[in-house]
Amino acid sequence: MRGRPVIQWVLLLGLWACLALPIVFVTRGGRTMQRTQSAESRSVMTWVSLRFSDEPSHFELLQNDKVLWREGPVNGVAFDRSFPVSIDEFGAELVFRSRLPAAGVIEITVEPDERREYSRTLWVDGEVDETLTFGWSQND
């Protein structure tokens, strides 16, 4: 073998270290923004529509461990209601829980006053416990 293999290996390792350095800085312990209940959140009247493919035994919608809407036992597959939802700088995070007798589909439509309507479709297999994040801002 010609040349100096030790020096070549050291240079090759140094090159790889230089290439890995930006990746380490980007991925290392990045600061994540935590959703906290703060004084900056505003309560906004919100229309919520739930459509089930099959009649559920019960359902509930929560925000920050506070029950916004709870039904059970229920008759029917379509439900609508308006109630206040807290919207902060990140939007709104709602927890939806329900139980269907078999696999099915649930459509959730949420429309705060003077804001854009969002819909989510959940494909579930019986029981569902899903956190839904909607991206409105306070000044949206």
Residue for token digits 């229309």? 47
CA dihedral sign, ordered 94, 49, 109, 45: negative
With a pLDDT cut of 70, the percent of the chain lying above it is: 89
Structure tokens at 17: 């270290």
Record the pTM.
0.68
Q: What is the pLDDT of residue 32?
A: 52
Confidence of residue 114 (pLDDT cuts 50, 70, 90): confident
Q: What is the pLDDT of residues 4-23, one digit of tens each?
A: 788 888 999 999 988 888 88
